[in-house]
Amino acid sequence: MILFGKLIQLHLLLLQVYRRDNMANIKVSEMPSANSIEQNDLFMIVQDGKNKKVEANIIKSLVRSPKIYTVRKQISSSSSALERLNDNVGLVANATHDGSAVVNDFDNIYPWSDIISYNYDTKGQRITAFYGDPTFDFSGNNGQVLTRIPKFWYKIWKDGGYYYYSIANNKVDGYIESQQFSVGRYTVSGSSSGVFSRSGQAPFVNYNITNARTYARNVGDRFGILDYHIFLISLLYIVEYADYNSQNKLGKGNISNTVALTSGGCDSLGMKSGCLVNDSKHSVIYRGIEDIYGNIWQFIDGLNIKDHIAYVSYNSSDYAVDKFDGSYKPVGYTTPNTNGWVKELGYDNNNPLISLAAVIGGSESTYVTDYYWQNSGNRIAHFGGGWGSGTNCGFWFWNLNNESSLAYAGSGSRLLLNQ
């Protein structure tokens, strides 16, 4: 078996770098040389006596110098802003509010730089084009439109009156590895006969979470609806923008309207974050994930609530409503029994990623700046808010108020592809 341990020998293992869209049955010796490596490239290697392919992002991780990007929040402070630490010090993150160009250092920092939308053929279980390729299509004619989040490493902890959120671009002792995954660029459209992530469509709504799970699994192998991975997306946001107030940083979103918008309102932004019009009636996008909050509520699977205790499962094959045993384990804090603006988020050392409201008493401009809804009994989780949710919306706006049978016109789902 040939390993990558000695990078100086890497060129001896490299047979050729070639583009996915230009693969051909020719001898390696006859292929032209590559002058650069892009994330949609493949390496051919010899492993266990066989030719195998390796994605460029894996090769890049071998030569990438470890960097740690950390933010911390003083729990007692009413400010929504966080302090940048480690390799995050001095970095700038801006999002457009009108489509104009802005400065964002994270566009060139892994893992943010490698987040990318692509077309996916569910029957062939293959990528057909990446954003930027000539054949990439927002409309879905070239496959489901998904956004891929690459592997990264993270650590979340609480110490000395501070919350710490940290992301590393490579393996670091004490950090948890987040495997690569993909989510729908858009919330799903379609019907019970088939759901899609594609531009130019009205969101598919008015079904319960069990049906949402079934519709998503019918799309193809390893598909489901968004689950605990939403907390990983929120983590990427908070380390990048260092502020809980996502509506202030990214844009308000479609939150003060009378109807849901069709998908694709942010297509012209590509992989940039922000919005084209910041008037509470237009979509917002975070790195290729449109309407991450606002427009419609999104079901979050694998998270069940029983009398203000959240139970989380990381085993998608075990997801079910009203389940509080087996792979479902209680999170080590109690969510509030009253509605209100979030002042403090909960922390469980065994489930550091699961960040729900723990203390109420903030406002739309202080502390966490997002709202929280609740009820007693068995509940499911909705995330983000809808077209009429106003300033309640954001990455930490959770509705833990509804029973598992709920189906209504403001609630839908987003595809998840475990990779």
396-409 residue pLDDT tens: 999 999 999 999 99
pLDDT at residue 65 in the model: 87
- pLDDT-based confidence at residue 63 (cuts at 50, 70, 90): low
How far is residue 3's CA from residue 218's CA, in Å, rounded to a whole number? 38
Which pair of tokens denotes residue 274? 């922000």
* Predicted pLDDT of residue 176: 98
Examine the pLDDT at 6 and tell me if it is beyond 60. Answer: no
- The span from the CA of 346 to the CA of 77, in Å, is 16
Contact 121, 128 (CB under 8 A): yes
Q: Which of 20, 14, 18, 15 is nearest to 34 (CA)?
A: 18
How high is the pLDDT of residue 9?
39
pLDDT at 337 over 90: yes
- pLDDT classification of 64: cutoffs 50, 70, 90: confident
Q: Give 368-412 as a DSSP string.
A: T--EEEE-SSEEEEEES--TT-GGG-STT-EEE---TT---TTEE
Q: What is the pLDDT of residue 51?
A: 81
- The mean per-residue pLDDT over the stretch 25-29 comes to 61
Indicate the pLDDT class of residue 167, thresholds 50, 70 and 90.
very high
pLDDT score, position 256: 98
Tell which wins on pLDDT, 194 or 36: 194
User: Once rounded to an integer, what is the mean pLDDT over residues 242-248?
Assistant: 98
Reduced to 3 states (helix: H, G, I; strand: E, B; else coil), residue 11 is helix
Mean of the per-residue pLDDT values for the chain? 92
**Whole-structure pTM over 0.85, yes or no?**
yes
Q: Regarding predicted confidence, which is higher, 292 or 12?
A: 292
pLDDT band for position 27 (cuts 50, 70, 90) = low
Token duo for residue 111: 């893992």
Dihedral angle sign, alpha carbons of residues 10, 16, 22, 24 = negative
Does residue 28 have a pLDDT over 70?
no
The confidence score (pLDDT) of residue 264 equals: 98
Residue 7: pLDDT over 90: no
Give the pLDDT confidence score for residue 49 in this predicted structure: 74
* Per-residue pLDDT at 118 exceeds 50: yes
Measured in degrees and rounded to the nearest 5, phi and psi for residue 74 equal: -70, 115
Q: How many CB atoms lie within 10 A of CB 332?
A: 14
What distance in Å separates the CA atoms of residue 153 and residue 41, rounded to the nearest whole number? Answer: 23
Residue 226, pLDDT > 80, answer yes
Whether residue 199 has pLDDT greater than 90: yes
Helix or strand or coil: residue 191?
strand
Own/partner pairs, 75-81, CB within 8 angstroms, 24+ separation: 75/158, 75/161, 75/162, 75/163, 75/344, 76/161, 78/362, 78/366, 78/367, 79/366, 80/243, 80/244, 80/245, 80/248, 80/365, 80/366, 80/367, 80/368, 80/369, 81/242, 81/243
Per-residue confidence band for 50, with pLDDT thresholds at 50, 70 and 90: confident
